[in-house]
A and B are shown apart, each in its own frame.
Chain A
Amino acid sequence: MRVIIADDSVLFREGLARLLEGAGFDVVGQASNAEHLEQLVAAQRPSLVILDIRMPPTQTDEGLVAAKRIRHQHPQVSVLLLSHHVETHHALELLGQSPERVGYLLKDRVGDLSEFLDAVRRVGNGGSAVDPLVVSQLLGRKRSRDLIDDLTDRERSVLAQMAEGRSNDAIASTLKISPKTLEAHIGTIYSKLGLEPATAHHRRVLAVLNYLRSS
């Protein structure tokens, strides 16, 4: 999978590139700012761009702006946004109306290598990844707790993993349950929450996030 990395720290870029190459990814470019990144994307046509939200010159949300523009101009390119802080606001803004080929993770997630690589692959293959912190914050709210009051603990774990953008297979293997059992859980969740069943796993990310955020 062809990847471009954008971050203003060369050490981080190099470290991440080494990690990704060790896992079989093909890092085809590195950029230290949004402008250079967009030139590289246009030239290299990568499958995936991994970028930091804060980049020069203002060190605020250049990465978010660049991510949205790349998604608009190159719909076939997947975008994974990294940040030292995660915010629901940014997550929803990035996901927009189409949660395909997009991810938003805390930078610290590189510390869980397999989880991180799983998310990178998921986004690169057209899926989505939402940081567990965003999901847990949404689930932890009083309003959300009221909404999901009827769910069992197991069902809540399933809901959280759905919101993070995981596929059924991934959820089943993480929770060590059979795909059949998982599907039963998902059906119960949908009926308890009154949600429209969504087939594609990345579609249901938005449905669940918006449901949890409604207040």
Chain B
Amino acid sequence: MIGGLRRAIQAGILAVVVLIWVAYVSNPLHFPGLAASPPTYWLKYALPGSAFATAGLIAWWLRPRNRVGVLMVGVGFGLLIGVGPHPAFQSPISREIENALFNWGPPRPGLFLSLGSLWVAMLFQLLLAFPGGHLTSRLSRWLVTSLYVFVPLIGVLEAPGGYGLDQSLPVWYAPQIASLLYVASPVLAIALILRRWLLGGLARRRSLSPVLWALAPITFALLPWTLMNLLVPIIGKPQSGPVSSVIPTLATVSPLLLAALPIGFLVGLLRSGLDMTSVASLVVKLSSGLLPEQLQSALAQALHDPSLRVAYWVPALDSFADLEGRPLDLPTPGSERAVSILDDATNPIAALIYDASLLHEPQLVDTAAAGVWMALENARLQVQLRAQLEEVQQSRARLVDAGQRERQRVERDLHDGAQQQLVTLLLSLQVTKAEAIKHADPKTAALLEANTEALKQALFDLRELARGIHPSILTEAGLIPAIRSLCERSPIQVEVRGDLCDGRLAPSLEATLYFVAAEAITNAVKHSRATHICVSLQRVTDRVVLEIADDGRGGADISAGTGLRGLSDRVAAVGGQLQVESDSGGGTRIHTEIPSHDG
């Protein structure tokens, strides 16, 4: 509806409310019925009626798209003109209006009453559709529809001068139908509201609670009267005592108690508006820039759902991923978790996973989602980056592992191939030499001896090469014997302090630590002029810590040479850290920590 037109209608309604009040108070048209009735008689309709109409106007003004305001105005008018849900409750002004408007032409008994009392159906619609304005359950739609049908019907059937109670009613109609309808409907409606309150999330309860409180007085005022009416056919009409006097009095003033309801509705609506405020403050928070984790908790706070999770679309995984970049399956529809997927024109950006009770607040979720759209896209890119980083880290670790395996394979191939063949050749040279000596051929024997020496040198070189590629003792006996063996070959005194409780580590870890130690000792021997090196290896909870310290001249720089840089990369690839402390003149300390996995 266009804003101007809407405002004009709202102003018109306000004017009509004022006019009705004028009619009640000063009776300018001199209605005889109105003049005869005391103000208490009409106040009980006019007060709640104007409360509904005014509150409805405010609600309509604040939430133009929500039909709650319009329904409230409708209920207000019904009450203002004083049409009861039953001829017994009709106010003087409604009779005057009926006389003024309908007493011409052919008699239309009860037409005004039946149309005027439609506000009762509206009230139920309002109660059951609050605060969203839509009837969500099938039962509530059924109830409201039947009220829209039966309330006018009862008006027509039971109006004085119409078919009337004393006249012949249709065969299928019994007056008890009216009683039953007016007893069963409020009970059913209250049950439905309570159910919605119980099943609703925090936001829903915040809106519904004021309505429930406002419903309480009228419920307790009408309950005894309803019960009495139900029981009259069974036990008869009470003749005297509090039951016969108090209960009808309570019922008579009950319309007055309806005045509490519009206040409840308005407060409820404003409280659901407070959630919009929390969404607004969420949007304000976004301006300061939030990490993905903070964004998730801010959304959870704004939507009153601590279990809310944000999943981000990662194209590389072709899946949604959690904050750490791990793939994540979305909950299936119909489970206790609901999902809203946000996307731009072509691709999904993120999914909000939240408690299914929030499905009752689609507007709230959509508003929050719209507010954080940009931030979510931003966060998605961060999560995507994390996923890629994770992938890169894994692939780096795989590369190092593959490299390590390859070295081990080459060493094994050398051992089983070249080394073994050369040794076998050495053997056969010996056999041949023995033959030559036996056949008194010293010249051949001398030649064979020269070949033997060359072969022995080749074997020596090959052995050193294999050791450099992958020391066999590392595979055969583990890290500590391998490091001890390394130290035995060092020209500088090396002290080894180690305790791995005889445990073996994963092969890639052992190799990484071994080569760190080897490079550190080689560096110390070559450059540090150290006289003493201390290698310590220990397991601290879930990490292996290797430290190589020398008493040399220091000044080693991780960024200068390729040796330390390469080692640092290699350590990082298995998830560890390598630090170098090397002040000039203060010796060098290489500290390596790697998360351990038992091999």
Contacts and interface: CB of A to CB of B under 8 A. Distances in A.
Interface of A: 9, 11-12, 15-16, 18-19, 22, 53-54, 59-61, 64, 84-85, 87-90, 107-108, 110-111, 113, 137-138, 140-143, 146, 215
A111 B434 contact: no
A84 B485 contact: no
Contact of B428 (A15, A85, A138): A15
17 contacts: A9-B424, A12-B420, A12-B424, A22-B431, A53-B476, A60-B475, A84-B466, A87-B481, A88-B485, A88-B488, A89-B473, A89-B481, A89-B484, A90-B473, A107-B423, A111-B429, A215-B493
A108 B459 contact: yes
Given A60-B475, A111-B452, A137 B459 contact: no
B455 A111 contact: yes
A87 B477 contact: yes
A16 to B, nearest CB: 6
Contacts of A11: 421, 424
B430 A60 contact: no
Interface stretch (B86-94, B326-334, B411-419): B411-419
Given A84-B463, A89-B481, A16 B420 contact: no
Contacts, number: 97
B227 interface: no
Given A15-B431, A87-B485, A111-B452, 16 more contacts: A11-B424, A16-B427, A18-B431, A53-B476, A60-B476, A85-B463, A85-B471, A85-B473, A89-B477, A89-B485, A90-B473, A113-B430, A140-B491, A142-B492, A143-B493, A215-B493
Contacts of A143: 493
B433 interface: yes
Given A18-B431, A89-B481, A110 B476 contact: no
A53 B477 CA distance: 12
Interface residues of B, number: 40
B195 interface: no
Interface in B468-512: 471-473, 475-477, 481, 484-485, 488-493, 495
Contacts of B489: 137
Contact of A108 (B426, B481, B488): B426
- Helix, strand, loop or mixed for chain B's interface? helix
A27 to B, nearest CB: 14
A110 B427 contact: yes
A12 B428 CA distance: 9
Nearest to B476: A61
A15 B485 CA distance: 31
B426 A110 contact: yes
Contacts of B428: 15
A143 B431 CA distance: 41
B6 interface: no
A11 B431 CA distance: 13
Best-buried of A88, A110, A111, A113 by chain B (most CB within 10 Å): A111
B476 A9 contact: no
A7 B455 CA distance: 21
B488 A19 contact: no
Contact of B426 (A88, A111, A140, A146): A111
Contacts of B467: 85
